[in-house]
Structure 1
């Protein structure tokens, strides 16, 4: 009997200890950040007269006060964005496009407006914004109008509350993009997305196929299913399971916000590669500062966490829905050879769409930020794809011609 009781207790520990430890870890993290916030505020307040400290406590988060935990503001983000835009030689217009009856705004740029060729719309990835397309816009806008915007919840766009349901949150993104299209009076366009932007661009094309001439998915996140764990894998100890449980709610962007005054230093320490990629344009920390200010602002609800499961897989993988995409819409998938995104998913898309145009391209030497790692090769490839759309020489056109020829006989 003692042996059975021991096994029962061990089983209970193995089952419940990891989530308990995970919850304790999260509580400790929140408590630690709160304490640091309080200490930081106290030290700051101690250095100024009490009357001024009280008035600064009542300031809104608008960049007018240095009395804040995160050294960021909307004004700082605006200034760094303006500096980035100055590197774009083409004629650029920037604006806020109102949606949802003026309750939200989409930060938008238009380059080379009113060009007669089919326009290109670009959707950034997780943690990004329109400023990260700086190495690409001039080249891509030589032959057409280029549109780019900050997704809701990112960059300088509004940060509304998102649904806690994954599909509802995804639909909120898609509805916002469609309303943005209507406000911009766009008919049909070439739609390009990177990472998360590819996921949303594909979802948009499924719901609004009549608006998309060609879908370009660059380093698409959220396409494959989460692999099924092998049944013969050894069971992890409850300590290992505890570590995994603690990591599950982890949001890398939350670290930047929680780090407070040390946030900019963390970006510089862990992403020096981004600075190197944009070194042809900036010899300082401009891009790193842009990324920090884009992500240091407080979100209303973490929509990406809602749409994903541990560790970085989509709750509703796009590979399970790719057959819902109108077969007349051609797709080009672009991968970096050194990326953590598996390019074999592109071949799976090709297999699932045998009667459609699907082209898979791998840019050698590029990582996940393929548009910056190998910007010249990337720009050349995208221009080539867009030229094919312009000249209507895609395989889908040939398929339509073949169908008409078959009808004759």
Structure 2
């Protein structure tokens, strides 16, 4: 299958491809999380936070990221609407009543048992870094497995995943696409480009069997070339 993962889903998709290489013929990583190693010196080390901030962070460390949504009960809908109005605005051109539907959808998803959040919390160290970064394992991926990497130029997620894959899989096919103007939600910020690159990944997977390895390898941009899309 062609397997696509976004954010934490990209980390899980890569782990799946490691465990079941015979089941994945093309891996698509959309603004994926958890690949680079945590920097030796973090921002907090350079600029120590006030004591009360560190105490609050320590007290909240055992909690899942969206605990406040569940703690708010029915008011969670209002909380989502107030804190993430940007998501509804992104859907508004394509979805009638997005300002009501999207916050409700997000609330109902996250008001349930937080299995995904718990998994993310268990895999994370510090603020947003993986305890076991995927960079240590990508060299074990099937060298014949092509990988498409997309990330938003304005995303908060570290954008070195494509470079790390190229360095650790120098003889494999890695296609890197930068979506200028997109944030972490690349599929929302630039849906037409996102769909275009997903379709290209599918076409590459379908074409591999009918072309020579050299022809396909020539399309790889692992030599430092990164395709960047212009902002619209």
User: Shorter-chain TM-score category?
Assistant: 0.7 to 0.9
Q: Report the CA distance between 1:233 and its aligned residue.
A: 3.8
How do 1:3-82 residues align onto structure 2 when only pairs under 5 Å count? none
User: How far apart in 1 are the matches of 2:53 and 2:198?
Assistant: 44
Shift of 1:395: 9.6
Distance in 1, matches of 2:153 and 2:217, equals 35
CA distance in 1, matches of 2:66, 2:163: 31
Say if 2:31 and 2:157, in contact at 8 Å, map to a contact too.
Answer: yes
Choose from 104, 111, 114 the match for 1:289. 104
**Which whole-Å CA distance do the structure 2 matches of 1:344 and 1:240 have between them?**
30
2:65 to 236, 239, 252: 252
Structure 1 match to 2:131: 315
Structure 2 CA distance for aligned equivalents of residues 365 and 393 of structure 1? 35
In 2, Cα distance between equivalents of 1:255 and 1:236: 23
Higher Cα Rg, which structure? 1
Q: Distance in 1 between matches of 2:15 and 2:128?
A: 18
Tell which deviates more after alignment, 362-371 or 276-285: 276-285
Query: Which of 72, 78, 89 in structure 2 is aligned with 1:265?
Result: 78
Given the alignment, which residue of 156, 167, 172 partners 1:340?
A: 156
Alpha-carbon shift at residue 250 of structure 1 (Å): 4.0
Calculate the TM-score normalised by the size of structure 2.
0.83
The residue number in structure 1 matching 2:34 is 222
4+ residue segments displaced more than 4 Å: 234-237, 393-396, 399-402
SS of equivalent residue, structure 2 residue 97: coil
Q: What are the Cα deviations for residues 316-344 of structure 1, in whole angstroms up to 9, with x where unaligned?
A: 11111111111110111100111111212
Deviation of 1:255 after TM superposition, in Å, equals 1.0
Give me the whole-angstrom Cα distance separating, in 2, the residues matched to 1:390 and 1:400.
11
Matched-pair contact (CA < 8 Å) for 1:222–1:318: yes
TM-superposition CA deviations, 1:149-183 (whole Å, max 9, x none): xxxxxxxxxxxxxxxxxxxxxxxxxxxxxxxxxxx
Secondary structure, counterpart of 1:360 in structure 2:
strand
Contact preservation (8 Å) 1:357, 1:395: no
Which of 297-306 and 257-266 deviates more?
297-306
RMSD of the TM alignment (CA)? 2.7
In the TM superposition, residue 306 of structure 1 has moved relative to its aligned partner by: 1.4
Describe the superposition over 1:261-313 as per-residue Cα deviations: whole angstroms up to 9, x where unpaired: 21000111111111112111232421221111011013469222112122121
After TM superposition, the score normalised by the length of structure 1 is: 0.48
8 Å Cα contact 1:330-1:396 kept in structure 2? no
- SS of residue paired to 1:391: helix
